Structure 1
């Protein structure tokens, strides 16, 4: 028999097959059970953060009228010629809301980074 060259195996199906490293991204895109669980965890974390900061705002700003109703003598206090209720509700409330908003954005971005790290760790 004549010498034959070694056989070469050509497989085209492997080109389109996803790598194991892309599995979590595929799960998210296809929204199968794993992807839904990952997304549900992110949504739950973001919602819990929003609720906690909403409670801070309600207690912080909603507590002021309650304080004024319980202790009416506080309403007569003047600082630099301005009544304390006006100062608190008109001046301090805006920096307070800005601080709460900045905190929300910062913590929401951290949640997103944690989610990305989880997906990448799940991939490898």
Structure 2
């Protein structure tokens, strides 16, 4: 009779726990770009050179815009009637600083985007444990 009761009862469930598949780390199929940079290989040097080139391009663009802005002021003030006091104060005190602020803001955003793109390039997308360098 004991055998009949055991066969009628539901089988005992066992829970198997382990590391989830999402949490498992796979071995990289290739050497990550981060190790290429830290080991100072030619590939790593190419990555760093590309970042420096993009940052230089952004800096030269901002410098060119600033030079264009400030360089045109003497031409504006040399125009006939351009030497009046009101126009000089408006040009120097009101118009120049917001434009300089916009140039600076553009440069900072571009530099941050360059660094974010570089960080995204050299970090392993499966490695979410580290937030950056």
**TM-score of the superposed pair, with normalisation by structure 1:** 0.70
Q: Return 82-91 or 30-39, whichever deviates more.
A: 82-91
User: Which residue is 1:74 aligned to?
Assistant: 82
1:113 corresponds to 2:116: yes
Q: Return 102-111 or 88-97, whichever deviates more.
A: 88-97
1:37 corresponds to 2:46: yes
Q: Which of residues 57, 61, 72 is equivalent to 2:70?
A: 61
Counterpart CA distance in 2 for 1:83 and 1:38 is: 51
Counterpart CA distance in 1 for 2:95 and 2:70 is: 10
Q: How many matched pairs?
A: 101
Deviations 1:68-98 (A, max 9, x none): 22x132233xxxxx61111111222222211
Matches within 5 A, 1:84-103: 84-103=87-106
Specify the structure having the higher radius of gyration (Cα).
Answer: 2
Q: CA deviation at 1:46?
A: 0.4
Structure 2, unpaired ranges of 5+: 1-26, 127-133
Check the 8 A contact 2:32/2:124 in 1, yes or no.
Answer: no
Q: From the two aligned structures, give the one with the greater helix fraction.
A: 1
Check the 8 A contact 1:46/1:108 in 2, yes or no.
Answer: yes
Structure 1, unpaired ranges of 5+: 1-17, 77-81
Counterpart CA distance in 2 for 1:30 and 1:63 is: 48
With CA pairs under 8 Å and 6+ residues apart, which has the higher RCO, 1 or 2?
Answer: 1
**TM-score of the superposed pair, with normalisation by structure 2:** 0.65
